[in-house]
Amino acid sequence: MTGGSCPFHVDATGSDIQGEGRRLRERGPLVQAQLTGGVAVWMVTDYALSMRLLIDPRVSRDANLHWPTWQKGESELAETWPLAQWVSERNMLNSYGPDHTRLRRLVAKAFTARRTAVLRPRIEAIVTELLDRVAATPAGHVVDIRQEFAYPLAIRVIGELLGIPGHMSDDMFRMVGDMFLTSASIEDVQANERALYALVGDMVVHKRETPGDDLVSGLINASEDEESAGLSELELVDTVLLMIGAGHETTVNLIDHAIHCLLTHPEQLRLVQEGEASWEDVINEALRFEAPIANLPMRFAVEDIELDGVTIPKGDALIISYAAAGRDPAVHGTTSDTFDITRSTRREHISFGHGSHRCIGAPLANLEVSLALSAVFARFPGLSLAQQVRPMESFVSNGHRELLVDLGREEA
Ligand code: HEM
């Protein structure tokens, strides 16, 4: 493990997430680095070490409790750091211990495997409707399948579950999506944040007046009964923001990467089409190979943590790199940089996290993505890539700016 004299600079634009993971790993499993704004952080790339840290009670996600540099949001950092919103939001993701349990319990019920399975017919209907629209593209035109299919699918599913009013949906998802652009200027970030909080505030007012059978209405009820549920107004708003962000960007990236990987590895697509491999195999390997959330700021050492000769001092920040962990040669061998849906270790990734913060939406994401992939390739067996892809400008969100495809015109 290394501190190294010269800290590693994490690229805020995310221009080469996997290359950066390799360069970090060459320095060691735990590397001192700097984020945008000069914020010091330990980067963890090793799968086994990540698993250990993710279940270690000496590791917290609550900056207010465990990151002295943050000074409970009173520091200059809170005003000037473009990534401040990633640690300032008050929801389950950024909480620890009993607060985490309390905030997670409020929404966990809605996302069990059983509750999720009930959504299947609705998701199938949305998939069909969107693919009908894609199929109407005039022959000879390419389609951005990320923008025209993966994105509207994910936002409609989570939008309906949450009960986001139709007239607010476009702005809401665009602003939450912009939060993932981690190289944006502080001015742009703060303008977006102000507009977003104003809009979510309006939505809460609107939903109070016209409640529905949805998650936001449930959270509003809980906040009105603060004594029993213990949900403050700020936690209500920040939980809604978390559910919107976590519930769409990630799923869009997974559909995007899985389609891209299959189009660039047609022999593996054939394995699925011939029944030799399953969509679940594709999904796991795509999650391992290109973790949709590459890195998620941040965690903090609750006390000094001794690890094989290196100490992470109490109060230091760390980031588990989910993207790097998925490529760890110690787990996946010398072929870890190869997309292979038949590899025996394809399930050994932490792309949904691990431990108490493990993704609440994993069953929903798995269902949505398997329905999406099977429908796309059944409908367009001649699908092909129309253009090289470019990464999004983010070191958090790992996806492409667009995924341009030729439909192969199987239908009249
Ligand atoms: C492919 C899709 C998805 C991926 C790759 C993904 C990834 C992750 C990861 C890595 C974490 C752990 C964060 C950490 O501990 O650092 C997480 C947590 C979370 N995810 Fe997902 N997610 C996906 C889909 C979803 C969906 C569809 C929803 C909502 C319905 C969702 C809601 C959440 C929430 C609320 C948390 C926070 C849990 C907590 O802090 O206790 N995710 N997700």
* DSSP-derived secondary structure for 219-232: HHHHHHTHHHH---
What whole-number distance in Å separates Cα of residue 152 and Cα of residue 252?
9
Distance between start and end Cα atoms, the chain: 59
Looking up tokens 């998939």 gives 127
Please give the distance, rounded to the nearest whole angstrom, from the Cα atom of residue 358 to the centre of ligand 1: 7
**Residue 1 has what pLDDT?**
53
Print pLDDT tens along the chain (412 aa). 554 457 899 999 999 999 999 999 999 999 999 999 999 999 999 999 999 999 999 999 999 999 999 999 999 999 999 999 999 999 999 999 999 999 999 998 888 888 888 999 999 999 999 999 999 999 889 999 999 999 999 999 999 999 999 999 999 999 999 999 999 999 999 999 999 999 999 999 999 999 999 999 988 988 887 566 678 989 999 999 999 999 999 999 999 999 999 999 999 999 999 999 999 999 999 999 999 999 999 999 999 999 988 999 999 999 999 999 999 999 999 999 999 999 999 999 999 999 999 999 999 999 999 999 999 999 999 999 999 999 999 999 999 999 999 999 754 4
What whole-number distance in Å separates Cα of residue 173 and Cα of residue 134?
21
Are 219 and 242 in contact, with CB atoms under 8 Å apart?
no
What whole-number distance in Å separates Cα of residue 221 and Cα of residue 216?
9
Contacts of 210 (CB under 8 A, 6+ apart): none
Please give the distance, rounded to the nearest whole angstrom, from the Cα atom of residue 193 to the centre of ligand 1: 21
Looking up tokens 């398997």 gives 370
Residue nearest to atom 36 of ligand 1 (CA): 359
Are 199 and 175 in contact, with CB atoms under 8 Å apart?
yes
Residue nearest to atom 12 of ligand 1 (CA): 353
Please give the distance, rounded to the nearest whole angstrom, from the Cα atom of residue 4 to the centre of ligand 1: 32
Please give the distance, rounded to the nearest whole angstrom, from the Cα atom of residue 213 to the centre of ligand 1: 23
Please give the distance, rounded to the nearest whole angstrom, from the Cα atom of residue 249 to the centre of ligand 1: 10
Looking up tokens 């005039």 gives 138
CB atoms within 10 A of CB 357: 19
Q: What are phi and psi of 406, to 5 degrees?
A: -100, 130
Q: Which helix (H) or strand (E) holds 80?
A: helix 76-80
Q: What are phi and psi of 277, to 5 degrees?
A: -145, 165
Q: What is the DSSP string of 379-395?
A: H-TT-EE-S---B-S-S
Residue nearest to atom 3 of ligand 1 (CA): 250
**Residue 5 has what pLDDT?**
56
| Pocket-testing residue among 250, 287, 358, ligand 1, by greatest number of atoms within 8 A of Cβ | 250
| Domains in the chain, CATH or no CATH each | 8-406 (1.10.630.10)
- What does the CA dihedral 118, 123, 125, 128 come to, rounded to 10 degrees? -150
Please give the distance, rounded to the nearest whole angstrom, from the Cα atom of residue 293 to the centre of ligand 1: 9
Atom of ligand 1 nearest to the CA of 292: 5
CB atoms within 10 A of CB 159: 21
What are 311's strand-pairing partners?
A: 306
| Ligand 1 binding residues, C-beta < 6 A | 92-93, 104, 111, 158, 242-243, 246-247, 250-251, 254, 292-293, 296, 322, 351-353, 357, 359-361, 364-365
Please name the amino acid found at residue 210: T
In the structure encoding, which two tokens stand for residue 208, read together? 């109070």
Are 111 and 242 in contact, with CB atoms under 8 Å apart?
no
3-state SS, 143-159, equals EEHHHHHHHHHHHHHHH
Nearest to 375 by CA among 149, 160, 144: 149
SS3 31: strand
Please give the distance, rounded to the nearest whole angstrom, from the Cα atom of residue 139 to the centre of ligand 1: 38
Q: What is the DSSP string of 304-341?
A: -EEETTEEE-TT-EEEEBHHHHHT-HHHHGGGTTS--T
| Pocket-testing residue among 151, 359, 395, ligand 1, by greatest number of atoms within 8 A of Cβ | 359
Q: Which helix (H) or strand (E) holds 42?
A: strand 40-44
